[in-house]
Amino acid sequence: MAKTLSPVCKLCRREGEKLFLKGERCFTPKCSFEKRDFAPGQHGRTAGRGGGKGKGMGTGRASDFARQLRAKQKARRIYGVMERQFRRYYDTAKTGHSLTGLTLLQILESRLDNVVFRLGFASSRSQARLLVAHGHFTVNGRRTDVPSMLLSEGDVVSVREGSGKLTYFKDLSAYTEKRNAPSWLNRDIKAMAGTLARMPERAEIDGSLDEQLIVEYYSRR
């Protein structure tokens, strides 16, 4: 399970855009990125290395490697995956019959913690990861505490019966109703459950991710 010890707001600043790692807080004026939208560090305001698109990321043209690295780091940080595990996902995607980049994104989207987040049962992926790790969810009726578990089509994710009595889950339905679940997931708010109906298509995944640059990054290593 990924564990970030540094303030996650610095990750958004490093990428030059909001990654929405803190859930609802990212939509409020309290978001650190609203106050400091430049890269962290002593030379964050004027840094020219990396050449990202965001403010404070430098005005120089980025090298191909820099752009590939930033694309890979951005995906890792959004999904909360460590480098070794991310590389394993890439190796798995590379052996498939479909496009490597699309398959990689589908693998990331099919993680249990991401599905819990997409269903609206958590405000962020990090919160979803914590809830899963504490054993509050079941997959096909079996309790699991592995956030990185990869789901298949037809798998049913639901709140564990004992956990449904907790205050958090009692109040969750009101929050969940405000969020739309993606079309590749079937959600039953009353039963606090959801089914992975199919794998998402590219248009249904975060459009700011550049999977081609990620493939290029690993292809040259």
CATH of the domain at 47: 1.10.1050.10
38 part of a folded domain: yes
Sign of the alpha-carbon torsion through 182, 72, 15, 147: positive
Residues 6+ apart with CB under 8 A from 93: 100, 101, 103, 104, 107
pTM of the model: 0.80
CA 131 to chain centre: 15
211 part of a folded domain: no
Asked if residue 13 has pLDDT above 90, the reply is no
**CATH number where 145 lies:** 3.10.290.10
Structure confidence by residue, pLDDT tens digits, 135-174: 999 999 999 999 999 999 999 999 999 999 999 999 988 8
Residues 91 and 122 in one domain: no
- Which of 63, 97, 131 terminates a domain? The answer is 97
Burial string for 80-114 (b: 16+ CB within 10 Å, else e) reads bbeeebbeebbeebeeeeeebbbbbbbbbbbbbbb
Asked if residue 178 has pLDDT above 80, the reply is yes
Residue numbers of the domain that contains 89:
9-97
3 part of a folded domain: no
212 part of a folded domain: no
Q: Domain count for the chain, please give it.
A: 2
Whether residue 51 contacts residue 15, with contact meaning beta carbons closer than 8 Å, is answered with no
Asked if residue 125 has pLDDT above 60, the reply is yes
Instruction: Label residue 194 by pLDDT band (50, 70, 90).
Output: very high
